[in-house]
Amino acid sequence: MEKYTLIITEKPDAAQRIASALDLNGKAKKVEDNGVPYYVAERDKSIVVVPAIGHLYTVAEEKIGRNYYPVFNFRWVPRYMAERGTRHIRVWLETISKLAQGADTYIDACDYDIEGSIIGYCILKYACGGKENVAKRMKYSTLTKEELEKAYEKLLPKLDFALIEAGRTRHEVDWLYGVNLTRALTLAAKDWSGKYATLSTGRVQGPTLRFLVAREKAIRSFVPTPYWQIKAEIEIEGKTFEAEYEREIIETKQEVEAILGACKGKDGIVETIEEKRFQQMPPTPFDIGALQSEAYSLFGYTPRRTLDIAQRLYLDAL
């Protein structure tokens, strides 16, 4: 087979859509190697589109001596070398490495964000044999045929190294925090109790737990204070309006009764009318957190369900 262009995607669904969009006939050929799917498209030259399945590499401790805590030596390794239940990733990486040997052009088409950038970078650097500095970048925001073709025709000349460094930093800092603070807590608990039990924490987990504890303490110590509000329905020319008392909160029931007694059976006078015209700007787009919060508030969806729905819509180019 002649040399071809190798495109790396973040997920199998994205690989299928990109391959179909770039194939001149819109029907890319699906191939499997040891259960790993990839797609062959024909354009000006053959294009092989192979997907990842999310992160294939992770940060792990680099064993130097017998030091248990603290540890600052780490390296990026395939996930199957550091995590249980990820043996299938080895076959995936072997297939990508094999395909990389027959390519002469390399394109990162993972999602254009921090996580997508670090996924593509690690594959190009480790699985493809140091191709991160010669690879090009596809930048798109939807998986529609028109946008994918445009992204392929207008490739960025190099990877997005600013996003890559942000991704590397986050993963490495997460690892340093998680490993060292977890081991410190575990040792402290063992010294105090004489028993061994892992106490985990991390860059996000620790502050989040502190916030939850503070919130729980505030809830338990809260003493409710009764208050009253006065609202009235008024009728003007056959139309009903809701009116609020000039003070939003009234502290005593006696004052409320006095106000109601003074108003009962009386006619009100409209003293002023204000009209305003303003331009309503469109709302800002959701970020993931705001979308999950709104979906839970309106529909009771869990954050995971909302994320899955959003991901499905994106992969279906909707």
pLDDT one-digit tens code per residue, 249-284: 999 999 999 999 888 888 888 888 889 999 999 988
Percent of the residues in the chain that have a pLDDT greater than 70, as a whole number: 98
Partner residues linked to 239 by β-bridges: 236
Least confident range of 56-65, 95-104, 155-164: 56-65
Quick check: 89 and 95 in contact, CB under 8 A?
Answer: no
Full set of structural domains in the chain with CATH: 4-166 (3.40.50.140), 231-263 (no CATH), 289-318 (no CATH)
Nearest in space to 118 (alpha carbons), one of 73, 163, 158: 163
Task: Please tell me the number of Cα atoms within 13 Å of 163 on its side-chain side.
Answer: 18
Q: Which residues neighbour 258 within 8 Å (Cβ) at sequence distance 6 or greater?
A: none
Beta strands in the chain (DSSP E): 4-9, 29-33, 36-42, 46-51, 57-61, 74-78, 103-108, 136-137, 231-236, 239-244
* Per-residue pLDDT at 67: 61
Examine the pLDDT at 68 and tell me if it is beyond 80: no
Number of other CB atoms surrounding residue 100 within 10 Å: 19
* Per-residue pLDDT at 66: 64
How far apart are alpha carbons 111 and 120 in whole angstroms? Answer: 9
Nearest in space to 5 (alpha carbons), one of 125, 117, 201, 138: 138
Examine the pLDDT at 71 and tell me if it is beyond 90: no
Average pLDDT (75-99) is 95
* Per-residue pLDDT at 65: 64
* Per-residue pLDDT at 75: 94
Collapsing DSSP to helix, strand or coil, 201 comes out as coil
* Per-residue pLDDT at 198: 85
Provide the whole-model pTM: 0.78
pLDDT digits (tens, 9 = 90+) for 145-202: 999 999 999 999 999 999 999 999 999 999 999 989 988 888 888 888 888 888 888 8
* Per-residue pLDDT at 193: 87
